[in-house]
Amino acid sequence: MLVTIACAIPIGALGALAAWALLSLIGLITNLVFFGRVSTELVAPGSVDHPAWLVLLAPVVGGLVIGLMARYGSEKIRGHGMPEAIEAILMRRSRVEPRVAVLKPVSAAVSIGSGGPFGAEGPIIMTGGAIGSILAQHLHLSADERKALMVSGAAAGMAATFNAPLASVLLAVELLLFEWRPRSFLPVSAAVAVAVILRAPLLGSEPIFPVSMSGAGVDPWVDLLCVLAGVLGGLLAVVVTALVYFSEDTFARLPIHWMWWPAIGGLIIGVGGLFVPRALGVGYDVIDELLTGRATISLIIGILVVKSLIWGLSLGSGTSGGVLAPVFMIGAALGALEGLVFPSSVSPGFWALCGLAAVVGGVMRSPLTGVVFSLELTHAWPALLPLMIASASAYGVSALLLRRSVLTEKIARRGYHLSREYDVDPLEVLLTDEVMHPTPVTLGIADPLPVPVSVTGSVLARRHGPAHDLAPLQRLFPVLDTAERLVGVVPRQHLVHPPAGANTVESLLVAEPLVVRADDTLRAVASRFAQAAVSAAPVLDREDPTRLAGLITAEHLLDGRLRDLAEEHHRERPFGPRRWPKAPRVRG
């Protein structure tokens, strides 16, 4: 673990540099395409009027470039980055091709810089993850250690992009690590810390969207309305998620090569940009106006409708770009629209912030990340409770109406099963002596052969009685010496078909078998069974490791699962209404 943490530190630094390079490249291409100047400053394509032909054609040309890069460079650059990172972790043992580390940020910069309504976070997650994976592949590490370093790079890039360290760690835990263990959590935290420290001289240390929320969360009625805001946010999350995959299905039916799809998606973007130019690009300026209460009604409605349409439809084309920034903008627009009806006694932009947290929680199915991201982006810490209510409500709606999130649906469509639900492994909380057979059939080391398999009229019967019902099913027999100490085991097949010349049990003895202790967890037993390729083992006493306590088999491991199923599905009422006995009638 210490080696992994040490490796994560330079990965965090490289992740911060990658974030700075990506944002600078986005600014450079945006300035070249829409303003005809050389500058790396992040600007909004729709902040000034442009010729209609430029607004319409720039995204198309950008889509053509991305299609060519994907076909002749690497197909892995297609998509918004997070599903690709998850797939690399789960299906490719955290191995990423080196060219992805270069092509992904360049393609994303081309897409966003030419007007694409996407964010930089998905590409930087894939880029930072590629950096961590490439470094890890040059070291002698396990797949889990490689995963920790890949996710460290991804989280570091995310933290440096948004100045959101805690949200980036939560995103790593909720979306990428699929575990909560020191071996992965600590390297990710180290990389994120380094990235945020380096962000200050590179990109500044101020919050991205500073908002004052001094009066937030003090009115119970406002908190109650946050439930409604969360439900509406969850419904919007369902709609935009369905829109993305409707678009993807539609593009898949086109009779042309997928290389041309991003150009068609660019045409959709250009048409939308003619109606609402400020829907183009990352849109940080628009998010700032929404969160500070300065957005006009026309901008709110235009962003809510046009941004949702062009983002969802164009993302399905397989272009390169992230989901978070567009979701921020769409959610904030929904909240700002709600703010026209909901009480205005709270701070300006309060409802926009609630809408942002709700839609993030619903679209990504990561409610904690939605809350913490919203707070770290704005430093509106007094709004913690309302944001938690809104995000959790949206998450509930999304979980009820959608089988999978926008991040995992693509992986499922490729034929892989992915669960985002975490609970304690029941095999981790049960001990061996809770499920083992405590009185297995045993043999003596000097017992003569052949030993009948049936218990009737055999050595087994003399030891355990003629009614013993385990021997016909038992496939491993512990062997004891005259002092009743375990000296080895004999597999059942050796008893049924003993080798020529064998005349006692001792001649069949496996003297150093796999053994487990009575206080081992079932998870540890399952791991040892898998490593040794066995399905049964004798259990040693807790106090005396020479004494046999029982026998455990692979079937006994299922008892842990059965108990877990019973706890999940068996309903009872321990404190139900008490039924008092009826008083006997007294006959007169």
- The model carries a pTM of 0.79
Task: Give the number of domains in the chain.
Answer: 3
Task: Give the percent of the chain with pLDDT over 70.
Answer: 86
User: Going by C-beta distance under 8 Å and a sequence separation of 6 or more, which residues neighbour residue 549?
Assistant: 433, 436, 438, 518, 539, 540, 541, 542
> Do 175 and 287 fall into the same domain?
no
Question: Residue 93 and residue 214: Cα distance in Å, rounded?
Answer: 47
| Dihedral (CA of 59, 64, 69, 75) sign | positive
- Structural domain harbouring 283: 220-413
- Does residue 210 belong to any structural domain of this protein? no
Cβ–Cβ < 8 Å for 332, 291 = yes
Mean pLDDT of 282-295: 89
> Do 402 and 478 fall into the same domain?
no
Residue 498: CB atoms within 10 A of its CB come to: 18
> Do 408 and 452 fall into the same domain?
no
* Cis-peptide, bond into residue 201, ω within 30° of zero: no
> Do 278 and 323 fall into the same domain?
yes
Domain boundary among 140, 174, 203: 203
- Does residue 278 belong to any structural domain of this protein? yes
Question: Residue 447 and residue 445: Cα distance in Å, rounded?
Answer: 6
Q: Side by side, which strands form the sheet with 486-491?
A: 443-444, 476-480, 486-491
Summarize pLDDT for 383-414 with one digit per residue, the tens.
899 999 999 999 999 989 887 776 666 666 66
Summarize pLDDT for 483-509 with one digit per residue, the tens.
888 888 988 888 777 887 778 888 888
Summarize pLDDT for 15-69 with one digit per residue, the tens.
999 999 999 999 999 999 999 999 988 888 888 888 999 999 999 999 999 999 9
> Do 396 and 525 fall into the same domain?
no
pLDDT for position 419: 58
Q: Is the pLDDT of residue 458 over 50?
A: no
pLDDT for position 227: 95
Phi, psi of 403 (to 5 degrees): -70, -35
User: Going by C-beta distance under 8 Å and a sequence separation of 6 or more, which residues neighbour residue 462?
Assistant: none
**What DSSP designation does 505 have?**
G
Mean pLDDT of 95-116: 85
CA distance to 482, 540, 557, per residue, from 544 (Å): 16, 7, 24
- Does residue 211 belong to any structural domain of this protein? no
User: In this structure, which amino acid lies at residue 566?
Assistant: A
Domain boundary among 386, 413, 440: 413
> Do 448 and 470 fall into the same domain?
yes
Question: Residue 276 and residue 298: Cα distance in Å, rounded?
Answer: 9
Ranges 112-126, 148-162, 506-520: which has the least confidence: 112-126
Helix (H, G, I), strand (E, B) or coil at 550: strand
Domain boundary among 413, 438, 462: 413
Locate tokens 């009820």: which residue? 400
pLDDT band for 300, please (50, 70, 90 cuts): very high
Helix (H, G, I), strand (E, B) or coil at 309: helix
Summarize pLDDT for 528-567 with one digit per residue, the tens.
999 988 889 999 988 888 889 999 988 888 877 787 777 6
DSSP assignment of 146-205, as one string?
A: HHHHHHHHHHHHHHHHHT-HHHHHHHIIIIII-S--HHHHHHHHHHHHHHHHHHHHHH-S
Closest CA to 86 of 423, 418, 421: 418
Cβ-based burial of 90 (10 A; exposed 0-12, middle 13-18, buried ≥19): middle
> Do 167 and 267 fall into the same domain?
no
Mean pLDDT of 428-449: 85
